[in-house]
Structure 1
Amino acid sequence: MTRFPDAWYLVLSSRLIPGLDGGYTVATLARSRQMREAGAEIALLTVDPGAPEAHVEHRSEFVRRGMLDVPERLRNLFDEASDPRGGGAPWLREATVPGDANPSLSYRDVTDAAGRAIVSLPVITGDPDWHLTTAPIVVRDADGSSVGVIAGFGALYRAWLDHVVAGLRGRVERPVVVICESRQLGELLSGWRAPAVRLLHTVHTTHLEPPFTADAPVNPLWSRWFTVADRFDAVLWPTPSQRDDVVERFGSSGVHAVVPNAVVPPASVVPIGAREPGRVVVVGRLAPGKRVDLAIRAFVGAAVPGATLDIYGDGAERGALQALIDDLGVGGAVVLRGATEDVAGALDAASVYLSTSAFEGQGLALAEALSHGTPAVVFDIRYGPRDMLRGGGGVLVPDGDVAALSAALADVLGDAAVRDRLSAEAVVAAARFAPAPTMAALAAVARQALDREPRRSPAVR
Structure 2
Amino acid sequence: MSDADFPDAWYLILSSRLIPDLDGGYTISTLARARQMTDAGAAPLLLTVDPGDADAHAAHRRTFVERGAAAASGVFRNLFDEALAPDGGAADWLRASAHEGRADPALEYRDVAGGAISLPNVIDPDWHLTTAPIVVRDAAGDSVSVIDGFGALYRAWLTHLTAQLREKNPRPVVIICESRQLGELIVGWGDDDVRILHTVHTIHLEAPYRPDSALNALWTRWFEIAPRFDAVLWPTAQQRDDVRERFGDAANDVVAPHAVRAPAAVVPTDDRDAGRVVVLGRLAPGKRLPAAVRAFARVVAEVPAARLELWGAGAQRDELEALVAQLGLAEAVTLPGLTNDAGAVLDRAAVYLTTSAFEGQGLALAEALAHGTPVVAYDIRYGPRDMLAAGGGILVPDGDEDALVAALARVLTDAATRRRLSAEAVSAAATLSPARAMQTLAAACGEALSRPRRR
- The 5-angstrom pairing of residues 302-451 of structure 1 reads 302=299, 303=301, 304-451=303-450
Larger mean CA deviation between 381-390 and 272-281 belongs to 272-281
* Contact kept? 2:90, 2:116, Cα under 8 Å: yes
Deviation per residue, 1:218-276 (Å, 9 max, x gap)? 00000000011011000000000000100110111111111110000000000011111
Deviation per residue, 1:279-330 (Å, 9 max, x gap)? 1111110000011112212211122121111111010000000000000001
Shift of 1:215: 0.6
Q: Select the residue among 199, 204, 214 that pairs with 1:202.
A: 199
* Contact kept? 2:83, 2:113, Cα under 8 Å: no
- Unpaired segments of 5 or more residues in structure 1? 457-461
1-side partners of 2:304 and 2:330: how far apart? Answer: 15
Task: State the partner residue of 2:246.
Answer: 249
Shift of 1:195: 3.5
2-side partners of 1:161 and 1:193: how far apart? Answer: 9
In angstroms, what is the RMSD of aligned CA positions? 0.7
Partner AA of 1:230 in structure 2 = P
1-side partners of 2:290 and 2:263: how far apart? Answer: 30
Task: State the partner residue of 1:48.
Answer: 50
2-side partners of 1:325 and 1:19: how far apart? Answer: 25
Task: State the partner residue of 2:179.
Answer: 182
1-side partners of 2:273 and 2:296: how far apart? Answer: 16
Task: State the partner residue of 2:136.
Answer: 139
Shift of 1:278: 0.7
1-side partners of 2:113 and 2:28: how far apart? Answer: 28
Partner AA of 2:312 in structure 1 = G
Shift of 1:167: 0.6
SS at match of 1:9: strand
For the pair 1:264 / 2:266, whether they are aligned, the reply is no
2-side partners of 1:217 and 1:388: how far apart? Answer: 25
Shift of 1:3: 1.1
* Contact kept? 1:162, 1:194, Cα under 8 Å: no
1-side partners of 2:267 and 2:393: how far apart? Answer: 17
1-side partners of 2:192 and 2:100: how far apart? Answer: 27
Identity across the alignment (%):
63
1-side partners of 2:406 and 2:43: how far apart? Answer: 50
Task: State the partner residue of 2:34.
Answer: 32
Task: State the partner residue of 1:120.
Answer: 118
Larger mean CA deviation between 179-188 and 249-258 belongs to 249-258
Q: TM-score, normalised by structure 1?
A: 0.97
Partner AA of 1:208 in structure 2 = L
2-side partners of 1:182 and 1:310: how far apart? Answer: 32
SS at match of 1:265: coil
* Contact kept? 1:379, 1:398, Cα under 8 Å: yes
For the pair 1:10 / 2:12, whether they are aligned, the reply is yes
Matched residues, number: 451
SS at match of 1:454: coil
- After superposing on structure 2, the runs of 4+ consecutive aligned residues of structure 1 that deviate more than 4 Å are none
SS at match of 1:15: coil
Task: State the partner residue of 2:73.
Answer: 71
Partner AA of 2:119 in structure 1 = L
1-side partners of 2:33 and 2:266: how far apart? Answer: 23
- Unpaired segments of 5 or more residues in structure 2? none
Q: TM-score, normalised by structure 2?
A: 0.98
Deviation per residue, 1:84-119 (Å, 9 max, x gap)? 01111110000001101011011111033xxxx111
2-side partners of 1:259 and 1:213: how far apart? Answer: 22
